Amino acid sequence: MEHNREASDSGVNPEIEYIVVNKKRNPLRIVLRVVIIVMWFLILLLPLVFFALAIQGDITIARGGIPDSHEHPLLQLSLISEVDSRGLRITTTSVSKPDELNLCVQTNVRFALWEGEGESASFCDCYVRQDSISEWQFESYVDTPCEE
């Protein structure tokens, strides 16, 4: 006690000892924290999605590199506001390309309705071309999922 009083009276600060403890960080815990932060930001952005749906009527993520790409979106959320049904229509597509000259696009439509009813649907559009540099030509439409 006397030693500290003398040091403070003389204007010299007493020497402070610091103890540093190095914690070993668990990489799984860091990844989990990053995932939680990303999910939290996605939850915070959810009202913007609904606001855009209310203004535009749909949100579309286009798929490139296929014919009629505007008809075959990678993901499309559409707002349904009809007399008998209200909700969301979710449209997704998958591409099956057995070879260079044939291409089939499967479109899946699902509904998340809070008023009314809607059945899910899948259909297949197939395209062909003469050689690998020519344009795709529509060949057929099938009201069922594409065959693998």
pLDDT tens string 72-119: 899 999 998 888 888 899 999 998 877 888 888 999 999 988 888 888
Cα(88)–Cα(46) distance, integer angstroms: 14
Domain assignments of the chain as residue spans, ordered by start: 56-142
Cα(146)–Cα(122) distance, integer angstroms: 8
Query: Which of 39-48, 78-87, 114-123, 131-140 has the highest average model confidence (pLDDT)?
Result: 39-48
Output the pTM of the full model.
Answer: 0.67
Sign for the pseudo-dihedral over CA of 48, 88, 66, 94? positive
Phi, psi of 90 (to 5 degrees): -115, 115
Q: pLDDT digits over 65-83, tens only? A: 788 878 889 999 999 888 8
